[in-house]
Amino acid sequence: MVALKAEYEVGSGVRWHVVPDFDGAALCRRLLSAIAEMRPITDMTRNGIPHEQLCRLCLTAFERGVETAPGREQINAA
């Protein structure tokens, strides 16, 4: 199971990361605040979170079926 977790960026709004519900790190390996807003993964499409607000590294890993936070080199591997 995975969920979306917010990262609040100064001046540019929110970036949403894909986070395994059993892990503290996003799929891109970024550690996010324990009190950051969380939303179900279905909100990625169903409730209209704009695509540009999704972390590209997390999205790529999620689309490949990764459900743990691998090393960054694994996500970037072709």
> Which letter does DSSP use for residue 46 in this model?
T
Q: Is the pTM of this model over 0.75?
A: yes
Q: Name the residue with tokens 């072709």.
A: 78
Tell me what pLDDT residue 9 has. 77
Per-residue pLDDT of the chain (78 residues; tens, 9 = 90+): 789 999 987 777 889 999 987 667 899 999 998 888 898 888 887 767 888 899 999 999 998 887 665 554 444 443
Record the tokens describing residue 32, joined without a space.
């996010």
Sorted by where each begins, the domain ranges of the chain are 2-76
**How far is CA 28 from its chain centroid?**
7
Give the single-character DSSP code of 9: E
- Give the pLDDT confidence score for residue 70 in this predicted structure: 53
